[in-house]
């Protein structure tokens, strides 16, 4: 109510006003500290009157814990990442951790963010460069990869079940009688895309089939449209396209519909990966393999917690998903057909 321009009240000010020592003030604000309830009320009252709030910076300095987790993002345009970030923000908040966000493509911030004694650094679907890995190690900041792996590196990671997802999609496409299946890859250097592709093509091979076509995308919008056009301009079109993520698959679907007049799910089947919210929207109805965000984020926060408690062993968690069959793919029929009869 008073002192609008005065400097912010400190624990000392509160102590004086409450007639107790400064450490009593500290204890009153520390859950589980030994203070009599009468002292605590005195302190809390005085604090209230002074508009006092403990200074987290000073606390961090002495406890040597920032309670902050760095999160590096690449592009948030992919709804899978923005959903993951949102959930991460929720769960970290609930766990009493603060989320320090920064863009991985900027040089400066990444260097400066390490100056905070981060509990952990989460790479949200972006690769961990070896330079960064070294710096994090030097700064004693453990890294957790989200939606990426770096096998043999001793870095913790949380991913969806890329390999089995790829296999499940291949199995479904074969069971529903597709004969010319194509794959639209994401970024080449991404473990995510590679694992999905590997599961996919391996299953095809096991069944005596092979990939009909392969296009290189980059997980993002513009190139996915181009890649899809190339596929559809072939003299003999693929009858199914598996895109390395939903974001690309939705673009591909729109290109097929809007530019080529195809009825997706009849003239051509399209499959994605992630199960983003849009995938189940009325106009899209995309068959896809899910990456359940909630358990993936839970696993991430769990790893961070363990690291905070001194556990040093890296963990590589794979969260299972499931095939979500929707209208963008042709349904399996009892007897396999030899139906190479479109167009």
Partner DNA sequence: ATGAAAGCGCTAACAC
Partner DNA sequence: GTGTTAGCGCTTTCAT
Binding site for DNA (CB under 7 A): 7-8, 10-12, 20-27, 29-30, 34-36, 38-39, 52, 54-55, 58-59, 61-64
Is residue 153 near its own copies by the rule CB under 8 A? no
- Least distance to DNA, CB of residue 138, Å: 13
Site for its own copies in 216-245 (CB under 8 A): 221, 225
* Angle made by CA atoms 83, 88, 90, in degrees to the nearest 5: 100
- 259: which DSSP letter? I
Is residue 30 near its own copies by the rule CB under 8 A? no
Pick between residue 221 and residue 332 the one whose CB is nearest to its own copies. 221
Is residue 32 near its own copies by the rule CB under 8 A? no
The stretch among 16-24, 138-146, 156-164, 292-300 that binds its own copies (CB under 8 A) is 138-146
Query: Which among 110, 130, 131, 112 has a CA at the least distance from the CA of 122?
Result: 110
Which partner, DNA, its own copies, none, binds residue 96 by CB below 5 to 8 Å per kind? Answer: its own copies
Do residues 240 and 180 touch, judged by C-beta distance below 8 A?
yes
- Least distance to DNA, CB of residue 213, Å: 56
Is residue 76 near its own copies by the rule CB under 8 A? yes
- Least distance to DNA, CB of residue 67, Å: 11
Is residue 171 near its own copies by the rule CB under 8 A? no
* Angle made by CA atoms 159, 163, 164, in degrees to the nearest 5: 105
Q: Is 150 left (phi over 0), alpha (psi -120 to 50) or beta?
A: beta
Choosing from 10, 22, 26, 254, the residue that interacts with its own copies (CB under 8 A) is: 254
Choosing from 112, 206, 263, 294, the residue that interacts with its own copies (CB under 8 A) is: 112
Is residue 129 near its own copies by the rule CB under 8 A? no
Query: Which among 104, 134, 98 has a CA at the least distance from the CA of 118?
Result: 98
Is residue 258 near its own copies by the rule CB under 8 A? yes
Pick between residue 34 and residue 335 the one whose CB is nearest to DNA. 34
Do residues 318 and 299 touch, judged by C-beta distance below 8 A?
no
- Least distance to DNA, CB of residue 315, Å: 27
Pick between residue 39 and residue 226 the one whose CB is nearest to its own copies. 226
Do residues 47 and 14 touch, judged by C-beta distance below 8 A?
yes
Pick between residue 29 and residue 203 the one whose CB is nearest to its own copies. 29
- Least distance to its own copies, CB of residue 336, Å: 30
Order of strands, edge to edge, in the sheet holding 213-216?
213-216, 181-185, 240-243, 269-274, 287-290, 323-324
Distance CA 310, CA 14 (A): 35
| Phi, then psi, of 280 in degrees rounded to 5 | -100, 5
- Least distance to DNA, CB of residue 11, Å: 3
- Where do we find the tokens 């299953």? 203
Which partner, its own copies, DNA, none, binds residue 226 by CB below 5 to 8 Å per kind? Answer: none
Q: Is 78 left (phi over 0), alpha (psi -120 to 50) or beta?
A: beta
CA dihedral 29, 121, 131, 81 (to 10 degrees): -150
Contacts of 298 (CB under 8 A, 6+ apart): 91
Choosing from 113, 173, 268, 303, the residue that interacts with its own copies (CB under 8 A) is: 113
Sign of CA dihedral 295, 297, 299, 302: negative
Choosing from 12, 281, 337, 342, the residue that interacts with its own copies (CB under 8 A) is: 281
Given the rule CB under 8 A, which residues bind its own copies? 8, 51, 53-61, 66, 68, 71, 73, 75-77, 79, 82-83, 85-86, 89-90, 93-94, 96, 98-103, 105-106, 108-109, 112-117, 138-140, 221, 225, 251, 253-255, 257-259, 277, 281-285
């Amino acid at each position: 109510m008073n002192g609008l321009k005065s400097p912010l009240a400190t624990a000392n000010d509160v102590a004086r006003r409450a007639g107790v020592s400064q450490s009593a003030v500290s204890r009153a604000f520390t859950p589980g500290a030994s203070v009599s309830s009468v002292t605590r009320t005195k302190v809390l009252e005085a604090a209230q009157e002074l508009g006092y709030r403990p200074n987290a910076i000073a606390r961090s300095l002495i406890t040597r814990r920032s309670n902050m987790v760095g999160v590096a993002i690449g592009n948030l345009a992919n709804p899978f990442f923005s959903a993951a970030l949102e959930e991460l923000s929720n769960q970290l908040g609930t766990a009493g951790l603060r989320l320090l966000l920064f863009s991985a493509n900027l040089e400066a911030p990444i260097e400066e963010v390490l100056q905070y004694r981060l509990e952990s650094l989460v790479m949200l679907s972006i690769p961990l460069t070896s330079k960064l890995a070294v710096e994090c190690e030097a700064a004693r900041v453990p890294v957790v990869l989200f939606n990426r792996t770096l096998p043999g590196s001793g870095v913790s990671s949380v991913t969806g079940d890329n390999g089995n997802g790829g296999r499940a999609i291949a199995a479904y496409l074969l069971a529903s009688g597709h004969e010319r299946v194509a794959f639209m890859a994401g970024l080449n250097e991404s473990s995510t895309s590679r694992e999905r592709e590997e599961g996919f093509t391996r299953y095809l091979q096991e069944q005596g089939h092979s990939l009909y076509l392969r296009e290189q995308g980059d997980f993002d919008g513009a190139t996915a449209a181009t890649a899809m056009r190339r596929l559809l301009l072939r003299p003999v079109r693929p009858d199914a396209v598996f895109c390395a993520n939903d974001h690309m698959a939705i673009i591909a679907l729109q290109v097929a519909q809007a530019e080529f007049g195809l009825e997706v799910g009849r003239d051509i089947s399209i499959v994605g990966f992630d199960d983003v919210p849009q995938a189940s929207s009325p106009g899209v109805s995309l068959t896809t393999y899910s990456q359940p965000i909630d358990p993936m984020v839970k696993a991430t926060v769990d790893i961070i917690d363990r690291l905070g408690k001194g556990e040093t062993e890296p963990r590589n968690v794979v969260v299972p998903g499931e095939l979500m069959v929707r209208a963008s793919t042709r349904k399996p029929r009892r007897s396999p057909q030899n139906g190479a009869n479109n167009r």
